Structure 1
Amino acid sequence: MTATTDRAAATLADIARPSGGFAMLAVDQREAMRLMFAGVTGAPVSDQVLTDFKVKATEVLSPYASGVLVDRQFSYDAVLDAKAVHPDCGLIVAADEFLPGNGIPVDAVAIDDAVDPAEARARGAVALKLLVLWRQDEDPAGRRAMVAEFTARCRAAGLVSIIEPVVRPPRRGWAFDREAAIVAAAKELGDSGADLYKGEMPYGGDADDATLLSACRAIDDAVVMPWVILSSGVHADRFGNAVRVACRAGASGFLAGRAVWQSVIGARDTETVLRDVSVPRLRRLGEIVDEAVAAR
């Protein structure tokens, strides 16, 4: 690992809006994004297609985001080479290695040793993100140890640490209560020492507000650090309300990709559709966060 940069340590303010809330953009999807493109085009999708989309999305949308999350494989170097990240938007780098297995592209996750935290800080990053797959029949000690190592690496490099627990069905047996698992994951990892918790939206945002609010409050009760929601599994038309309800329950915003740009995948003129569709959507989501923070 390279020596720690002399730059001052990053803080949550580096990925927050002036209100203190978070309106962060994710373009770190990997094989999942390839599948999105393939679903639209019906043809093989090259790595360059993914890179081009990620760079353009970052260039167009980062002026309206408080942070942007990129992946090492397809976008980290490219967005820096293109100077695509707006100066007021904090750069977040995914430090997770996705391990395929059992017919799925992400069956397990490890810390990506190819991402050097100190080097990332020297190149302008302010935070790293780690996906954590949570299964009730796997050893929690292993998950907590990985998170502890990740947060220590971030702290040593002066970076903000973001963890993203995502629940999965158990490897053995069929019983799976997703909503209970989301809360159980929050109880297990919500006091892990990371700086920010990125969690799944209960019920995929598809329930009445009272049900969503109660479920989000259970997460808030379990997590001692600031937390935000992700948009995977939430329909884009429901995501604004999901953000609003989650913030009422104690969340501080979102770190999301699909709800912002998935409808642009496969467009003939990517830049125009990003500006016409995704920019207004992201701006409104940021306003929802600001309104929620101001109401506290």
Structure 2
Amino acid sequence: MDCNRTAILGIGKIRGLQQISTPGGIFIMCAMDHRGSLKAMIEKEQLDDEVDYQELVEYKLELCAALAPYSSAILLDPNYGAAQCISRGVLPGHTGLLVSIEATGYESAQPGRITALLNNWSVEKIRRMGASAVKLLVYYRPDLNEVAKKQLKTIKRVAEECLKYDIPFLVETQTYPINDENTKTSKLAVLKPGLVIETARQVASLPIDVLKSEFPADLKHEADRSKLIQYCRQLDEASPVPWVILSAGVEYEAFRKEVEIACSSGASGFLGGRAIWQEIVHFADKKDRLKFLSTTVVDRLKELADIATKYAVPWYRKLGIKASELAAVPENWYVNY
């Protein structure tokens, strides 16, 4: 399904995209919508038997307070972060808010993974709470046809709701190992460029607004800069919508390199999470944690922001439209809106 991109870009979507990007149209976004993974990180590091609701909320509040002032937007979950950060005043009004719609984790469908939407949560509620955009994570293998069809069906379902409520829709895609592929072998690394690029082609053919993509190579497996640039340009060609790079928990130095190469090859910025802040779980003492956040973590974000601002492609330019004319607005447009 190919879409007329400007036709689906309603005035509400345009406003949302403005809210989650810089005035220059670049996405400098931080992800802190982690739920199960953050809980596991804290429990493993601090040997807690059980991390409770309030502890997870506190981590989100600390992250948001430190990073939101330097971000064009923050990605938060409804369980522990979005409403909590608004109500506690740590999400500035000038910073956009993306809210996740999926349940944490995935449903196993051997050998694939199926995304489930969070119960009692919806695009309508995300719009009502004042968020700027909806985010959906899908684990995706284009070579698993039946599983991919189910995932595309879920994306399409949410996309239709986002069109109805005229709110931007960002889809995050992540590949994963099947059969005898794992991180200890090079099998998945060899396949990764093709998987990521084909995933972009299939997913971005639906009426989505921004693609949050993996870097289309494993830097531990491929170090040739010219090949990395080639893969990113192929990804750019495959995606008709603006795309940003996710961090997938890699080390910060690797993510910085990925952001620089991706933004130089067509990306419109980044939506980074653990690569920016994952070491905070090492600090059981809140004072030490806040110091690390306000220094090392903020410095990382500022560095990434400088890279994206210098090299990234504004989202509207990717769509072939001008910043001064994002949509045609005829007289009495509101009558049938």
User: Which of 139, 155, 162 pairs up with 1:147?
Assistant: 155
* AA partner of residue 120 (structure 2): A
User: 1:91-131 CA deviation, whole Å, 9 max, x = no partner?
Assistant: 110001235556xxx94312234223233223220101001
Contact 2:249 2:275 in 1 (8 A): no
Contact 1:133–1:168 (Cα < 8 Å) also in 2? yes
Report the AA paired with residue 273 of structure 1.
Answer: F
8-17 vs 71-80, greater mean Cα deviation? 8-17
1:288 and 2:307 matched: yes
Contact 2:172/2:213 (8 A) holds in 1:
yes
- Worse-matched range after superposition: 133-142 or 153-162: 133-142
Letter aligned with residue 231 of structure 1: S
**What are the within-5 Å matches in structure 2 for residues 149-228 of structure 1?**
149-170=157-178, 176=188, 177-206=191-220, 207-228=223-244
Partners in 2 of 1:48 and 1:164 — Cα distance? Answer: 27
* In structure 1, C-alpha distance between the alignment counterparts of 2:260 and 2:116, rounded to whole Å: 32
Instruction: Indicate the residue corresponding to 2:32 in structure 1.
Output: 27
- Structure 2: which amino acid aligns with 1:182? V
Report the residue type matching 2:310 in the other structure.
E
Match of 1:238 in 2: 254
1:52 and 2:58 matched: yes
Answer with 23-32 or 233-242: which moved more. Answer: 233-242
SS state at 1:23 partner:
strand
AA of the residue aligned to 2:97: L
Query: What displacement does 1:8 show?
Result: 4.8
In the alignment, is the contact (CA less than 8 A) between 2:266 and 2:313 conserved in 1?
no
Q: Which moved more, 1:207-216 or 1:28-37?
A: 207-216
User: What does residue 279 of structure 1 align with?
Assistant: 298
Equivalent AA in structure 2 for residue 202 of structure 1: P
- Judging changes above 3 Å, is the alpha-carbon distance between structure 1 residues 237 and 144 closer, same or farther for their aligned structure 2 residues? same
Say if 2:97 and 2:133, in contact at 8 Å, map to a contact too.
Answer: yes
The count of corresponding residues between Structure 1 and Structure 2 is: 286
Q: TM-score normalized by structure 2?
A: 0.79
Structure with greater strand percent: 1
Instruction: State the Cα distance separating 1:250 from its structure 2 match.
Output: 0.4
Instruction: Tell me if structure 1 keeps the 8 A contact 2:107–2:116.
Output: no
Contact 2:216 2:232 in 1 (8 A): yes
Cα deviation, 1:267-291, whole Å, max 9, x if unaligned, reads: 2222221101111111111111111
* CA deviations over 1:53-90 (Å, ceiling 9, x no partner): 11111111101001101012221221122122111110
| Counterpart-to-counterpart distance in 2, 1:50 and 1:33 | 8
Name the amino acid aligned to 2:198: A
Seen in structure 2, the aligned counterparts of structure 1 residues 141 and 244 have a Cα distance that, compared at 3 Å, is same
Q: Which residue of 2 aligns with 1:37?
A: 42
Deviation at 1:183, TM superposition (A): 1.4
2: distance between equivalents of 1:276 and 1:187? 39
1:162-186 CA-to-partner distances (Å, cap 9, x unmatched) read 001111234x565642232111211
State the partner residue of 1:4. none
Contact 2:82/2:99 (8 A) holds in 1: yes
- Residue identity (%): 27
Q: Is the 8 A contact 1:19 1:294 kept in 2?
A: no
- Distance in 2, matches of 1:27 and 1:190, equals 24
Q: How does 1:255-274 map to 2 (within 5 A)?
A: 255-267=271-283, 268=285, 269=287, 270-274=289-293
Taking only aligned residues, the RMSD between alpha carbons, in angstroms, comes to 2.3
Distance 2:313 2:30 in 1: 21
Give 3-state SS (helix, strand or coil) of 2:174's partner: strand
Pairing 1:85–2:99 present: no
For structure 1, the residue ranges without an aligned partner over 5 or more in a row are: 1-6
